[in-house]
Structure 1
Amino acid sequence: MPTDNIVAAAAMSWRRCVFRCERKNTLFGLPKEDTRRNLWLSFIYNTVPEQYNANIRVCAAHFTEDSFLNLGEYKAGCTQRLLLKSGAIPTLQGQSGASDSQPSKSQQAQGSEQLSTSSRSHDVECQTDFIETPPAASPKTRSVGTQVSLGTLKDTHARRKGTQATAPLSPIKAPPFTPHKRPRLELDEEEEDTDISESIAEPHDSTYNPDNSAVTQEYGLWEQTTYNVSKYIVFESCLRELFETCPLCKTKCDVQCRRMGSYVSFTQHCPKCSYHRKWESQPVVGSTPVGNLLVSAATYFCGASFIQFEKICKAMQLQIIQYDAFRRHARNYLEPAVIHKWNLDQKNLFRKLQEGGKVAVAGDMRADTRGHSAKFGCYTLMHLDSNTILDMQLIQSNEVGDSCHMEKEGLKRCLDHLEANSLAVEYITTNRHPQIQKFLRERKIVQFYDVWHFEKGLYKKLDKLSQKKGCEILKKWLRSIKNHVYWSATSSTSGPEKVAKWTSLLNHIQNIHIHENPEFPKCAHPDQASRDPKKWFQTGSMPLHKVEKILNNKRVLKDVEKLCHHYQTSSLKAFHSVILRFAPKNVVFPFIGMLCRLYLAAMHYNENGDREQTTTSGQPMYKVVFPKSKKGECTAKPLKTAPSYDYVADLMKLVIEEVFVDPAPFVKELKQIPIPTFLPSQFERPLKEEVVGRHVSRFSQGVVESLQTVHPDQGTPAKSEAQHRTGEQL
């Protein structure tokens, strides 16, 4: 393109590439550094002009693919803007940049030669860069670390592992932190903090070979610099002491600090001997400090609240990332990792259960709020033999029209998922929900009722009856009746035999031990000697008649026959309490956020659901608790061993080693989940001005109504709260 046309294009508009390329490409402005800006101008004008338009733009078509930080994310469709690496130079004359063609080796060599304006070396152990001074300056030394490429180690000198050898500074460059080249999905980290003026460039090491890098058992580049090493809280004042004076001439140095979330770097320059170095507090991949990602991952995977964690850090002036960066990490890396791990664990569990034939399960639903105003309902199926969560289905209320229908829809999806994975249900234990009864009867699945739900409903009726006048004697028998419910349900009998056991309760509370039922002609316990009428129900009395009416109710007798005799859903209730730690009901989550937190709770329960009881000197340990339901009665509760968090370690490893390297397949797996429409989208959204205009304070509401009554044809503005209290006139 002729120079005159370039100048004309630059003067015409800065919203378009100076080469008049297509407008759909991402545009980049001239860099602030003089050296890089001159290289850009040389590429555009074939020389460095004395006068030029500072607002000219160059599009992405003139850069090679290795010039971008977030090319993987851009190709995956997760971002609409490309980000340049620090030090990137346009080298392609045509429109065949990152999205069209692969750069040639000559172009790559040309860009690498342009960037090599100063020779550098790197101490990876302390994350410090030493920049070589001109030949006239005094010679420098550097500390040779272990986290450099093997090619660099071969070109310098041999040393033993763990020693701190020094050598004259040579013009070689080692990568600060690049385990291997990979397409990846990068975040817009420049929005986190504005006090970092330039992004961190990936290394351009001529001796670095991804296949020959020092990721071995001896050096452990990746294993020793990411998620599994110890981290410490370091004060900024202590760090500044390390860079105040020059290590060569002891002159006071100029120190510059840059921060991005939990990452901090110090640049030291000596005005006397021109000594220069750069220190970084943590490894950096692309433009993302690894510590920032680890903060987000640890917070999310442990089920903690980032808002609460941020308050703690602000209270002690501990620098961390912002909430927007946490949400980007969760959306691009953490949530895809959770979905992938849950699907993988679930497939392995299904594969094991397919070998054992039919499965016995228990099902129950948990809503995010009480009553009929729930937004989400989570239906859970638990495998009773292994006490593990088989499947979870999250339902949003607008998917089924009303929150009352979420339980049936959740059970339907769970059973369909089991059938799709060749798992047949032997029987299912649930509550006595009428919709569930009808649905399972139509699908011809054997259903049993949970004893706890049955006992809870019956106990409420009997407790209400015991508070009436003349029925006070029933209070003495409530606990015995409750125990009789579990005795009747957990016996090996079934059907009519359970009903016979159940009806024998009426004879027992009357101190009658000879029964008319041939199945149970006599009670198993010895006869009671006491005939005190205050302790027993009297035959034909009003309290006995009312109790008999409740216990011999037609529906009660029918439900007794279907009480589960082997397993209960108490473990599901325990799992619901675990969910509260990951997804509290007082916090509103989006659909994917709620689903991932439910999966995290299921991973935690499956790992710790069968913990053993703690023992001391061979004796089991207990603690005494006072449950509210016992109304002051103490209960012994077994002490369990400490829970483990291996699933958190697996997720951290998955994020760092796989998802962060190439997030595209994991994001694709997440996008396969159907997300229901936003709940308020079914309503028409009014203008904000109209809503604000209708807003009336509760202190001035009566005044407005009285003014509108006196002047019905005039629009009278409402008084403010201050005007109402002081009696000012409008």
Structure 2
Amino acid sequence: MCTTCSRPSDVTIINTVGTFISTKQSCFHCMYSQVWSSQSKINRIPAGNLLLSAAISFSGSLYTKVLRLMKSMNVLMIGESTFQEHATMYQHPVIWNVWQSQQQQLISQLRDMQGSLVIGGDGRANTPGHCAKYGQYTMMELRLNKIADFQLVQSNEVGGSNLMETEGLVRAVEQLKTDDLEVGVIVTDRHPQIQKWLREELPSVTHYYDMWQKDIHENHSPLYQMCHHRPSNKQWMKQSSKACEELVSLIETKRLLKDMSKLSPLHQTSSVEAFHSVVLQFAPKLLTFGYKGMLARVCLASMHYNENQDRLQAHNKQDKAIYTLKYPKLKRGGHTVQKRKQDATFEYVDELMPKVFEDPRQYWEVWDQIIASPSLVL
């Protein structure tokens, strides 16, 4: 109805851009007309489209799945090229800016702590198998359980995927030195190249191996002298068998016996493994991303982990602790009882969103200083 003469009027669609729609209302009785838009624009970009693309990225979602959802609801959606343009111009520079800001706060906190850093380090490949494109090396301060630094290495930078983990460690150590942070203890797996590099380049750093990857039943610590489970009476193999001889020869190797003395007595890298499982939510291994896209997603995972790493156990309305049942594959139908933690928070998204609607050019210069490695030649 015409807002002037209250008579029927004609409404036509002028334009649609993703979630944006504009219409024109024309009254042929009093000749009144007006143009209506469903949302405002920021730098000539519909605000709803920019908000949608930011929400997809910041939540760790995938464009293709969101597109399928919107099509199922028959709701207009931005195109993939538009989404990628928004990510390049707005989201990725903002993510890097907020991550660097949070890291500076963490670095200040680490400098104020007593003693040198206790670091847990581990590498992660972005794809299954031995032909990964990216290698991510994570350094976590184990006393705070927060990501002190991570490095993303592309395989053609170092001559092969088997060299990415060591290179990631080297870069992470250099970054900590640049931040004027001193590493006192580092806990890693038994990677031979990492052992050699730490032994030669950082002789003053105490290097421990992760006990989580070993099976020790006695002399855990002065408090717990042995495991609480009952000893197994099951005969796995005969003492005189070939299999038993091979097992004994493996267990009694000089390298293994030597490494046993370097197992970490306190801190382990299980928290680093937990963080790597969080990265899977933002960057699934079955998908490939560009270097800067992968870097931005690991930054998001790091911010999410650092914010939620110290969640307490959840309680119901009667203030009773809540537990949940898990059914791991190794239990073959059996279950384990675990504490249910409080719901995760996403305050880092509240920090990211307002910056998306600011002038993005203030973040471009720093983001453009990151030089992506050349694409892999197949």
Q: Same fold (TM over 0.5)?
A: yes
Query: Which amino acid in structure 2 is aligned with residue 647 of structure 1?
Result: Y
1:361 and 2:91 equivalent?
no
2:121 and 2:187 in contact (8 A); partners too? yes
Residue matched to 1:418: 176
Residue matched to 1:627: 328
Residue matched to 1:406: 164
Residue matched to 2:65: 308
* Equivalent in 206, 215, 238 of residue 446 of structure 1: 206
Residue matched to 2:9: 253
2:153 and 2:164 in contact (8 A); partners too? yes
Residue matched to 1:377: 135
SS in 2 for 1:278: strand
Change (3 A) 1:325 1:380: same
In structure 1, the gaps of 5 or more residues are 1-244, 456-481, 494-500, 506-523, 529-533, 684-730
1:372 and 1:404 in contact (8 A); partners too? yes
Q: Structure 2 matches for 1:40-79, cutoff 5 A?
A: none
Deviation at 1:536, TM superposition (A): 8.4
* Equivalent in 352, 361, 364 of residue 667 of structure 1: 364
SS in 2 for 1:542: coil
Query: 1-side partners of 2:374 and 2:122: how far apart?
Result: 25
Query: 2-side partners of 1:343 and 1:427: how far apart?
Result: 25
1:492 and 1:565 in contact (8 A); partners too? no
Query: 2-side partners of 1:364 and 1:351: how far apart?
Result: 23
Query: 2-side partners of 1:265 and 1:308: how far apart?
Result: 27
Residue matched to 2:99: 342
Query: 2-side partners of 1:351 and 1:558: how far apart?
Result: 38
SS in 2 for 1:297: helix
Query: Which amino acid in structure 1 is aligned with residue 340 of structure 2?
Result: L
Residue matched to 1:201: none
Deviation at 1:625, TM superposition (A): 1.4
Deviations 1:380-434 (A, max 9, x none): 0011011111111000000000111000000000000000111010111100000
2:132 and 2:155 in contact (8 A); partners too? yes
SS in 2 for 1:614: coil
Deviations 1:574-600 (A, max 9, x none): 111111110011111000000000010
Deviation at 1:654, TM superposition (A): 1.6
Query: Which amino acid in structure 1 is aligned with residue 221 of structure 2?
Result: S
Query: 2-side partners of 1:358 and 1:422: how far apart?
Result: 11
Query: 2-side partners of 1:597 and 1:545: how far apart?
Result: 48
Query: Which amino acid in structure 1 is aligned with residue 338 of structure 2?
Result: K
Query: 2-side partners of 1:587 and 1:635: how far apart?
Result: 32
Q: Please, what is the CA RMSD of the aligned residues?
A: 2.5
Deviation at 1:547, TM superposition (A): 5.9
Query: Which amino acid in structure 1 is aligned with residue 240 of structure 2?
Result: M
Q: Structure 2 matches for 1:197-236, cutoff 5 A?
A: none
1:440 and 1:446 in contact (8 A); partners too? no
Q: TM-score, normalised by structure 1?
A: 0.48
2:187 and 2:210 in contact (8 A); partners too? yes
2:39 and 2:46 in contact (8 A); partners too? yes
Q: Structure 2 matches for 1:702-717, cutoff 5 A?
A: none
Q: Structure 2 matches for 1:73-472, cutoff 5 A?
A: 245-257=1-13, 258-356=15-113, 357-443=115-201, 444=203, 445-453=205-213, 455=214
Deviation at 1:274, TM superposition (A): 1.4
Q: Structure 2 matches for 1:483-502, cutoff 5 A?
A: 484=217, 487-488=218-219, 490-491=220-221
Deviations 1:109-129 (A, max 9, x none): xxxxxxxxxxxxxxxxxxxxx
Change (3 A) 1:438 1:278: same
Change (3 A) 1:321 1:412: same
1:647 and 2:344 equivalent?
no
SS in 2 for 1:435: helix
SS in 2 for 1:266: strand
Change (3 A) 1:306 1:535: closer
Query: Which amino acid in structure 1 is aligned with residue 336 of structure 2?
Result: T
Q: Relative contact order (alpha carbons < 8 A, sep ≥ 6): 1 or 2 greater? A: 2
Query: Which amino acid in structure 2 is aligned with residue 448 of structure 1?
Result: Y
Query: Which amino acid in structure 1 is aligned with residue 270 of structure 2?
Result: S
Q: How many residues were matched structurally?
A: 367
Query: 2-side partners of 1:439 and 1:483: how far apart?
Result: 27
2:128 and 2:285 in contact (8 A); partners too? no
Change (3 A) 1:536 1:274: closer
Q: TM-score, normalised by structure 2?
A: 0.91
Query: 2-side partners of 1:365 and 1:403: how far apart?
Result: 11
Query: 2-side partners of 1:591 and 1:624: how far apart?
Result: 39
Query: 1-side partners of 2:339 and 2:124: how far apart?
Result: 26
Query: 1-side partners of 2:345 and 2:64: how far apart?
Result: 25
Query: Which amino acid in structure 1 is aligned with residue 369 of structure 2?
Result: Q
Change (3 A) 1:409 1:671: same
Deviation at 1:438, TM superposition (A): 0.3
State, as a whole percentage, how many aligned pairs show the same letter: 39
Query: 1-side partners of 2:169 and 2:266: how far apart?
Result: 21
Deviation at 1:343, TM superposition (A): 0.9
Query: 2-side partners of 1:610 and 1:584: how far apart?
Result: 24
SS in 2 for 1:303: coil
Change (3 A) 1:492 1:429: farther
SS in 1 for 2:128: coil
1:574 and 2:274 equivalent?
yes
